[in-house]
Amino acid sequence: DEEEHGTEQQRAADELRTGRPGERRPTGPGLVQMDQVTAKKGCIAVSSRYTHSYETELEQDYEIQDKVLGTGMSGPVRLALGRSDGRKYAVKSFKKSGLSARSRQELRNEAELYLQLD
């Protein structure tokens, strides 16, 4: 059941990334290694993980609102509206370039913590 559930989550996440069922948008190397997070936590619910190098691509898919839903070490979590489906999303952008090794590790720790929350 967990494997099937994971497959369904992946299909849903793929659709959120591309707007088209079954199509995957290529992603670059992530800050957080998801296999390490799931090894610590077990199966986690991730509705989508949007990874891009260019901010303009994110803004092509989502209309980022001014409303701040919360904040963390690396900045605010903002409300966004999906351009393809009109749904509401919580979006947090991470600027990794120019971070010191310590700041990058703190960012990694924060992201892993959020991913482990139910």
Annotated domain spans of the chain: 2-116
Q: What pTM value is reported for the model?
A: 0.46
Confidence of residue 102 (pLDDT cuts 50, 70, 90): very high
Asked if 60 and 66 count as a contact pair (C-beta separation under 8 A), the reply is: no
Q: Which CATH class is domain 2-116?
A: alpha beta
| Residue 38 CB partners (closer than 8 Å, separation 6+) | 44
Q: Tell me the pLDDT tens digit for each residue of 44-94.
A: 444 555 555 555 577 888 899 999 998 866 678 889 998 999 999 888 777
CB-hemisphere CA count at 13 Å for 48? 20
